[in-house]
Chain A
Amino acid sequence: MNFFVEAFAWLADPVHWVGADGIPTRLGQHLWYSALSVVIASVIAIPVGYLIGHTGRGRSIAVSISGGARALPSFGVITLIALSVGIGLTAPIVSFVILAIPSVLAGAYSGFEAVDRKTVDAARAVGMTEWQIMAKVEMPLGLPLLIGGIRSAVLQVVATATLATFVGAGGLGSYIITGLRANDYPKMLAGSILVIALAVALEVVFSIVQRLVVPAGVTAGRPSDTRSKAARPGAVTATPLTKGTQ
């Protein structure tokens, strides 16, 4: 327990809150790498995932990629890429993108898959085009699962970004790695506490966002064929009335 006291003393020391090795700088780097990689991964994976989810083609490949990626050791990926492209920012970003893609992909296609086929058929029956079905039915209904996938990707990347410093790219992990090398236990513990706090905070934020994006009228985990009394007359009467008065 004594070490925890020392670690918090390290965190409270104003010296560690300023400069190029200060906590705000390192936190900024950490968040920047993570955000950039997840955005790049999303740009690549979401369209592909949507295509797979909508057409149902290539599903088995997507499942094997997203399942098999779990076995991929992130530390190995980052060192391998650092060796081939050299020390700096490229190596960590490329490896984080590789590590983030499977989760986002899984979130995108499983979000589409989770949409009841009857709902999709109904949308087709009322004359929606395939694009409209994707944009107005499958995307909103699949959004919670997509956010879930992005959430896993963010957590994976934030965790792996701890190792970015190992290949010379800073981040909160730099306290851990320099602490390890110098056998400075309070320092590495302080770095660990920062990373853990960041990860837990992001997890909480994402779980809240995931709940917020559930479309109105859809309650996750519960059958939604019960319509609330308040919504019903509104839905039936509101539109024709305004049109009639015009």
Chain B
Amino acid sequence: MNWIWSNSDYILDKTIVHLGLSVPPVILAFVISLPIGWFANRYRVSRGILTVAGLFYAIPSLPLLIALPVVFGTSLRSPVNIVIGLTLYGIALMVRSVADALAAVEADVTQSATAVGYSSWQRFWRVEFPLAGPVMLAGLRVVVVSTVSLATVGGVLGVNGLGLLFIDGFQRDITAEIVTGIVLTIVMALVLDFLLVLLGRVLMPWSRKDAELKPVAPVQARQKVVLP
């Protein structure tokens, strides 16, 4: 406990930096996943995108972060490298959510929208997008939680953030420092998750039932095997 009080500035700095590492990838992943997910859902052939995304998500984070600089020309220890890596993971998770969400919009509804004269652009933004909202939100909640947790891996590379507390605590034999890092990571993930749920309630007041604070079971979220 003493360690925490005497290092509160240090901890605060790491927390704020970590927040800065975690939030941009979530937003970027959502924005980039929208067109890709739409495309994957719209054309049968492009469902293969989802397989590729699933396979990409299987790539361990530390090796990915090391391989990225060769592809993107970023510096290994720069925060930009972490943000790119986390964005890619976010996309890999989110594309499936977007495609599933759009696929769940009833065909009758979209056809009605077309019938009353919506152009396909208007139909997407005014009908399909809002109706797909709750499922996309569920996906985004998974993305935000895993992103906050994954961002700690940057610590291994020496990138500033809560991950540094693990390295530093381990090397200097300070258990309190590691525990602080773990607790702050979990708290940050839960707070951001809660904010997303609130945002969902404000933006999609019709889906109060769907957007309840229910943790999403990981296997069900990733793997949709429907048994009769």
A residues sitting closer than 8 Å to B (CB atoms) are 1, 3-4, 63-64, 66-77, 79-80, 82-84, 102-103, 106-107, 110, 114-116, 119, 141-142, 144-145, 148-149, 151-152, 155, 158-160, 162-163, 166-167, 173, 176-177, 180, 185, 188-189, 191-193, 195-196, 199-200, 202-204, 210, 214, 218, 220-221, 223-225
Contact = CB atoms under 8 A, between A and B. Distances in A.
B170 to A, nearest CB: 4
Contact of B67 (A74, A189, A223): A189
A76 B222 contact: no
Interface-centre pick from B59, B146, B162, B224 (highest chain A CB count, 10 A): B59
30 contacts: A63-B217, A66-B219, A67-B217, A71-B185, A71-B190, A73-B182, A75-B163, A76-B163, A80-B179, A83-B170, A103-B219, A106-B219, A110-B219, A116-B227, A148-B219, A155-B58, A159-B60, A163-B156, A173-B62, A189-B67, A193-B63, A193-B67, A196-B67, A199-B60, A203-B55, A214-B225, A218-B228, A220-B225, A224-B228, A225-B228
A223 B228 contact: yes
B152 A73 contact: yes
B63 A191 contact: yes
B150 to A, nearest CB: 8
A73 B63 contact: no
Contacts of A210: 223, 225
Given A73-B163, A145-B225, A80 B64 contact: no
B167 A79 contact: yes
A78 to B, nearest CB: 8
Nearest to B226: A221
B58 A199 contact: yes
Nearest to B175: A83
Contact of A72 (B175, B178, B186, B224): B186
B182 A192 contact: no
Interface residues of B, number: 54
A176 B63 contact: yes
Contacts of B60: 155, 158-160, 162, 195-196, 199
B88 interface: no
A144 B146 CA distance: 24
A94 to B, nearest CB: 15
Contact of B219 (A76, A141, A145, A192): A145
Given A63-B214, A70-B145, A220-B227, A203 B58 contact: yes
A175 B145 CA distance: 29
A71 B64 contact: no
B197 interface: no
A163 B60 CA distance: 11
B205 interface: no
A73 B227 contact: no
B91 to A, nearest CB: 17
